[in-house]
Structure 1
Amino acid sequence: MYGLIIDHIATYIKEKYGESTWAEVKFVSGVTEDTFQMDKKFSEGLSHKLIWGCHDVTGDPVDELMNNIGTSFYKFLTKYEFNKVLRVLGRTFPQFLNGLDNLHEYLRFTFPKLKPPSFYCEHESRTGLTLHYRSKRRGFLHYVQGQIRNIAEELFQTEVVIELLDIEHDMNLEHIIMRLHFNNLDFNRQGTAYRNLNDSILEKVKITSDIFFDIFPFIIVFNRGMRIRNIGIGLLRVMAGIVGKKINKTFLLMRPFIRFRWEEVHVYLDGYLCLTEERHRMGDVEREKFLSLKGQMFYMEEWESICYVGIPVMSHLPQMYKSGLFINDFALHDSSRDLVLASTQQAAELKLLLHQEAQKSRNMRENMNRLKKERRRTDKLLYQMLPKSVANLLRNGESAVACCERFDSVTILFTDIVEFTKMCSSLTPLEVIEFLQVIYTNFDKIIDVHGVYKVETIGDAYMVVSGAPTKTEHDAEFILDCASQFLVEAGKMVNMSAKIPKIDIRAGVHSGSVVAGVVGLSMPRYCLFGETVFVANKMEQNSVPMKVLVSETTHNKIEESDPGLYQFEMREEIEIRDEQTIQTFFVVSRHGPPRVPSPRNCESRQDDSRNEEDDDDDLIFPGVSRRLITQLGHDLQKAGRKSPTSEAEDELKKKGQLSFTPVSDTGIERHSRNSNRTHSQDITPRNSLT
């Protein structure tokens, strides 16, 4: 199937449903191309893949889609100016239908390996006609019906009602018989005028058979027994030995798709027929030596024979030369002389145009790929500054004030490097930057695993939050897991340099409500405001090296949601402000492995690990890269669970690869809760201070 039809289907989906739906349809159909070159051949089943993919994504019935796509075909042809050919195909709607086979033969010059259907009309009356549609492809009934209705309305201002009479399958063909009901105003008028003109000519004009065969040099006369009685002077020069042979043994009937027998051909009189010399088991080079004829058949009552008035089909001059024909073999009145000469030049021009079109298509694909690459880079930079959900709101035109949101339940963690000022006094500025770069890079990797969001760093202070901008009921648990991992990582950083033998950090945690939003026009940042931020900072200031100090609020939140999950050590109360005190606790250990957050909780890393092969990842896990899901899968498998990728693949298989639902949060959290009691994990580093 040529790209013209595939491009039509793709164009309809894009215009009707939008680019995002087209991307989903491509994913479901397994299609990677964005553009389809008009003269390029594609898989025969690709059109049905796209139609069914559109059905799966949009929910629209397949028959309705096929009908609507067929209805848009005439408008689509304006893109290649083929609509101009349709306008001159017939004076009336029945003539247009009878000329469709001739149109398809004309299109063979552009599409040499075209496999077009065949159309034949019969039983024409004032109220309509019967249309026979034969095709080697199946499943295009509603597509053709949509084309017929739309062309009748666009070109002939006629409303057509189509009644399906029968569907047959023979000779590897689908034969569909339809009755087209419409107001055929020209039926009686044309018949009467033709009969009157015909009678007048018969009375005044008489011609001999010799003149008849000279006028039509490629005519073939055969009788009821299908034997050739005579041929025109043009055929006589190249095929003199065929007289007396059976025409259905000498030629193949290429169009229409009927049996080459007297009874069926006689019914098809006044229709378009295409004959080709019998050439089974021949190569392409040998086939060019043989003739193909197209023309029309008439029944000659005086001769009791059928006359096939045809002309050779020549795609280029070399083919004419190989077949043994020359320009002077054509009648002077035959425009084929000019067409054959002009076809070589037109073919060269068309080849140049198609080459330019292909080059434009390649350039467009390259530009689109570069655009996607730059878009990923800018998105990555943007999402490092702002949460993805907030950045998308700002990109869509929302104001900074509109992006502000209150979060009733978040947990905030502050960490600080012990004696950082003293360390800096012994380091150069460049060494300080390198020192912080190593620490913060390791911390950034940890928050990627635990689904918390990094708010900011000020000097040696590191601030993260869980529960904002993505809400979760496990914010306190995620923060404590992250803080504990910070301590473990800091304990590993020994002998970084002669001036820094080891690193100790303090951590403080508090839970409560905050207001979050974007502040500033230049270098905008996502900030948190409220009493919770102040208290969390106080927790860090009152903590001790290599310990996590939590407030009573956070302690109670953990105990209420999952009692016994953490082991705490009660400490003294600390003063917050103006003699206001708060009970505090040290985190001692955790029972079981850390909870793994679902992908939708991983706001801080949604695009950080995206690479150039991740273009279609958002169709499976919106906003989360495939590399991230794979990493989460490894972590889950260590806990004896299936990875999110495996769960998604299983779900896709169950639903026929038609679902784009992300991995269930509930499923992940249920498995994680069941594995939380397996063993006790001591989170106090080996070199912690008591």
Structure 2
Amino acid sequence: MYGMLLESVQHFVQTEFGEHVWNQALQASQCKHTSFKTHQVYPDNLMPDLAQSLSAITGKSFDYFMNYFGKCFVRFFSNFGYDKIIRASGRYFADFLQSMDNLHNQMRFTYPKMKSPSMQLAMADENGAVLIYKSGRTGFSRYFMGQLTEIAKCFYDLDLKITTLESENDVAGGTTGPIQMKPLADQQVVVKYRLDFDNKEFMEKRINYIPHESQKSLKDLDVKILLELFPFTIVLDHTMNITDAGEKVLETFILHNPDRKPTSFIGSHIMENFKCRRPRGTIFDWDTIFQMRTVLFELELIRTGTTKIRNPDEFLDNEHNDETVLEIQKVVIEAEEPDDGERKNSQGLKSILLKGQMFFIKDLDSMVFLCSPLINNLDELHGIGLYLNDLNPHGLSRELVLAGWQHYSKLEIMFEKEEQRSDELEKSVELADSWKKKGDELLYSMLPRPIAERMRAGTDLLETCETFEGVSVIFGEVMGLHSGENIQEAMNAVTTLNAVFTAIDEEIFTPFVYKVETVGMVYMAVSGAPDINPLHAEHAADLALRLIKKIKNLKLKDVSVKIGIHSGPVVAGVVGLKVPRYCLFGDTVNTASRMESSGEAFKIQISSATAAKLQDRGYKLESRGFVKVKGKGEMETFWLVAGPED
């Protein structure tokens, strides 16, 4: 399936259920894509898997989400201008139902790999219609129902009620586990729907049409005139045998079957020489084709020289078992022909694909397949062995082929450019995500994560200020460094200081200690802010002991460090706009700074307040006695010697 379908799902699920629900669904369905490209093809089972995941997350049913996805697509494709195609398809909703197959077929130019379902309007009345849905995908019938409901409401102002009359090979609602997508050869979903809506105007103007008197006086139609006007025409009798054909149909048959005579074509059953590519699974008997006169058929001419007869019993209803119907149901298909869109025979030519409508001609008492070759451009024309003068002189067949040839290369160039732009956009999104992550990392290195997230949410700077009753502030000063008298010595000092501060940064690996700032040779950290931590003194002490060991292990010549710690209340908040910093204020900060400045190399001096919190925790302390501290007078301090595990 093309990415546009998944784009619609992503957009509306994120809008109506939230981005977190969408991300959960992607993870649950093991989808590796975070975004989808409009013209890229994705696995068919991706959408049902997303519906299953969303069903498990929200509690709503699988059927609900597949129906919802169908509605989302109708709302979404208006962004691409496809709503204009729907509005132009017909005056009435029944007109649209008749033209759905043709609309899908026209989209093959834009979406060449599209595997669209087949929709057949089987019957219409004043109260609605009966529609037959056929698809090679399982699990998408509810998606189709959602599309129909939304189209009827948005484009025709109709309240559509859909009832399933018959169903074959469809996935039942409420299934659990991933949807298993099976190929068409194994099974085909066939669902017959009853659509209830106001269809009176359509029936009055289209079905119950009363011919004018002048039309009643027309002469009987001569089949020769019909075949001369339309050289691509096949006439069928009630047994679906070919009674006559246009000149170009016979020429094409001979070209593709040089070992057979034209007389073997006339009188044969149509399915002995053609394969019905669309609508898929159509049974070619008179009653069925008569009901499908509004449907566009695509018949592929096959080479009967290498054919095998498929068992007719697989196409028979239990009600039909006489010899005549058995003969009608014989279907001859080309042996070993892949159903992948390629139409080639042993001569290297592509098989011709005829597209048209079945008309019942009362004068002939026959069904006439009025068709024309399905050709996109000149390359395809040569590929099936035809020339421009073989096409109908009237109509637009020749002009369309020439226009297709002229615009095909332009379309290819446009598609390539769009794909290139899509790739560039995806790379830009990835690059933007990468920049965002780097920006977040830089922001979190300047500010604590909780504070940064509050500021990103629009919190005023003043509102980030908080009071903390108990924290432990750590100051560490690098000693022995001299800037020197020349540039070389100054560079050596910078390199050494960077090595020391980097070593300190590596030791702050838990959220219990936060690096506040570095000023000159001084490193400042805190435990207990901005995340409240009742064990702030222990974590500060552990960090200080690790730092002493690590810096000693650096074995830097003449370089040492002294550390001071004090515990108490502080006020913290963000200061500045251009380069905002998370700063601490209060006497506790000043006292911790004095503990460091009055300390000694490779020693940790702590205040009595910090010592009181560590004494009963197994830390080894040595009293230094009373020390004269600037601005504080005499203070009792301690040396922190070892931790509980040392």
Question: The TM-score by the shorter chain falls in which range?
Answer: 0.7 to 0.9
2:187 corresponds to which residue? Answer: 172
Residue 230 (1) aligns with residue 215 (2) = no
State the alpha-carbon separation in 1 of the partners of residues 110 and 484 from structure 2. Answer: 79
**Cα–Cα, structure 1 residues 527 and 293, in superposed 2: closer, same or farther, change >3 Å?**
same
State the alpha-carbon separation in 1 of the partners of residues 109 and 632 from structure 2. Answer: 94
State the alpha-carbon separation in 1 of the partners of residues 499 and 198 from structure 2. Answer: 83
State the alpha-carbon separation in 2 of the partners of residues 82 and 467 from structure 1. Answer: 60
Structure 2 SS opposite 1:549? strand
**Contact preservation (8 Å) 2:121, 2:294:** no
Corresponding residue to 2:367 among 306, 314, 323: 306
User: What are the ranges of 5 or more consecutive residues in structure 2 without an aligned counterpart?
Assistant: 171-185, 254-261, 303-333
State the alpha-carbon separation in 1 of the partners of residues 158 and 397 from structure 2. Answer: 34
* 1:145-294 correspondence to structure 2 within 5 Å: 145-169=145-169, 172-191=187-206, 193-194=208-209, 196-197=210-211, 201-239=215-253, 240=262, 241-262=264-285, 263-278=287-302, 279-282=334-337, 284=342, 286=344, 289-294=350-355
- Deviation of 1:193 after TM superposition, in Å, equals 4.8
Structure 2 SS opposite 1:457? strand
Could you tell me which amino acid in structure 1 is paired with residue 625 of structure 2?
E
Structure 2 SS opposite 1:351? helix
Residue 454 (1) aligns with residue 477 (2) = no
Deviations 1:120-150 (A, max 9, x none): 2234222212222221112223322221122
State the alpha-carbon separation in 1 of the partners of residues 18 and 360 from structure 2. Answer: 54
State the alpha-carbon separation in 2 of the partners of residues 52 and 574 from structure 1. Answer: 72
- Deviation of 1:221 after TM superposition, in Å, equals 2.2
Residue 394 (1) aligns with residue 394 (2) = no
Structure 2 SS opposite 1:509? strand
Could you tell me which amino acid in structure 2 is paired with residue 225 of structure 1?
T
Structure 1 SS opposite 2:530? coil
Could you tell me which amino acid in structure 2 is paired with residue 587 of structure 1?
L
- Larger mean CA deviation between 377-386 and 529-538 belongs to 377-386
**Corresponding pairs, count:** 582
- Deviation of 1:71 after TM superposition, in Å, equals 1.9
Structure 2 SS opposite 1:79? helix
State the alpha-carbon separation in 2 of the partners of residues 583 and 146 from structure 1. Answer: 80
State the alpha-carbon separation in 2 of the partners of residues 487 and 236 from structure 1. Answer: 98
State the alpha-carbon separation in 1 of the partners of residues 617 and 511 from structure 2. Answer: 20
State the alpha-carbon separation in 2 of the partners of residues 254 and 380 from structure 1. Answer: 58
* 1:611-650 correspondence to structure 2 within 5 Å: none
**Cα–Cα, structure 1 residues 396 and 127, in superposed 2: closer, same or farther, change >3 Å?**
same
- Deviation of 1:357 after TM superposition, in Å, equals 1.2
State the alpha-carbon separation in 1 of the partners of residues 457 and 72 from structure 2. Answer: 32
Deviations 1:447-482 (A, max 9, x none): 135752111222322211122223334433322221
State the alpha-carbon separation in 2 of the partners of residues 205 and 584 from structure 1. Answer: 123
**Cα–Cα, structure 1 residues 175 and 583, in superposed 2: closer, same or farther, change >3 Å?**
farther
- Deviation of 1:210 after TM superposition, in Å, equals 0.9
1:45 corresponds to which residue? Answer: 45
Q: TM-score, normalised by structure 2?
A: 0.81
Deviant stretches of 4+, over 6 Å: 18-21, 56-60, 424-427, 575-582
Deviations 1:510-566 (A, max 9, x none): 33332111223454321001232233234334544433333444445457xxx6453
State the alpha-carbon separation in 2 of the partners of residues 210 and 325 from structure 1. Answer: 23
Structure 1 SS opposite 2:450? helix
State the alpha-carbon separation in 1 of the partners of residues 207 and 508 from structure 2. Answer: 88
- Deviation of 1:409 after TM superposition, in Å, equals 3.3
Structure 2 SS opposite 1:130? strand
**Cα–Cα, structure 1 residues 264 and 193, in superposed 2: closer, same or farther, change >3 Å?**
closer
State the alpha-carbon separation in 1 of the partners of residues 40 and 235 from structure 2. Answer: 40
Residue 475 (1) aligns with residue 536 (2) = yes
- Deviation of 1:590 after TM superposition, in Å, equals 3.2
- Deviation of 1:99 after TM superposition, in Å, equals 0.8
**Contact preservation (8 Å) 2:9, 2:72:** no
* 1:535-684 correspondence to structure 2 within 5 Å: 535-557=591-613, 564-569=617-622, 572=625, 584-591=637-644, 681-682=645-646
1:510 corresponds to which residue? Answer: 566
- Larger mean CA deviation between 275-284 and 460-469 belongs to 275-284
Deviations 1:395-414 (A, max 9, x none): 44432212222233322212
**Contact preservation (8 Å) 2:484, 2:490:** no
- Deviation of 1:152 after TM superposition, in Å, equals 1.2
**Contact preservation (8 Å) 1:549, 1:586:** yes
**Contact preservation (8 Å) 1:127, 1:181:** yes
Structure 2 SS opposite 1:518? strand
Corresponding residue to 2:464 among 397, 400, 403: 403
1:101 corresponds to which residue? Answer: 101
- Deviation of 1:45 after TM superposition, in Å, equals 2.4
**Contact preservation (8 Å) 1:411, 1:509:** yes
Could you tell me which amino acid in structure 1 is paired with residue 190 of structure 2?
H
State the alpha-carbon separation in 1 of the partners of residues 473 and 239 from structure 2. Answer: 97
- Larger mean CA deviation between 450-459 and 25-34 belongs to 25-34
Structure 2 SS opposite 1:355? helix
**Contact preservation (8 Å) 2:503, 2:551:** no
**Contact preservation (8 Å) 1:35, 1:361:** no
**Contact preservation (8 Å) 1:13, 1:54:** no
**Contact preservation (8 Å) 2:562, 2:603:** yes
**Contact preservation (8 Å) 2:233, 2:368:** yes
State the alpha-carbon separation in 2 of the partners of residues 186 and 180 from structure 1. Answer: 16
Structure 2 SS opposite 1:286? coil
2:131 corresponds to which residue? Answer: 131
State the alpha-carbon separation in 2 of the partners of residues 476 and 525 from structure 1. Answer: 24
Q: TM-score, normalised by structure 1?
A: 0.76
Residue 320 (1) aligns with residue 381 (2) = yes
State the alpha-carbon separation in 1 of the partners of residues 629 and 192 from structure 2. Answer: 88
State the alpha-carbon separation in 2 of the partners of residues 38 and 347 from structure 1. Answer: 20
**Cα–Cα, structure 1 residues 41 and 163, in superposed 2: closer, same or farther, change >3 Å?**
same
Structure 2 SS opposite 1:345? helix
Structure 2 SS opposite 1:479? helix
1:597 corresponds to which residue? Answer: none
* 1:348-359 correspondence to structure 2 within 5 Å: 348-359=409-420
Residue 82 (1) aligns with residue 96 (2) = no
- Deviation of 1:444 after TM superposition, in Å, equals 1.1
State the alpha-carbon separation in 1 of the partners of residues 519 and 61 from structure 2. Answer: 58
**Contact preservation (8 Å) 1:117, 1:133:** yes
**Contact preservation (8 Å) 1:258, 1:264:** no
Deviations 1:665-687 (A, max 9, x none): xxxxxxxxxxxxxxxx32xxxxx
Deviations 1:151-203 (A, max 9, x none): 11222121212233343118611222322221113144125652x11776243
- Deviation of 1:584 after TM superposition, in Å, equals 4.6
- Larger mean CA deviation between 11-20 and 42-51 belongs to 11-20
Structure 2 SS opposite 1:532? helix
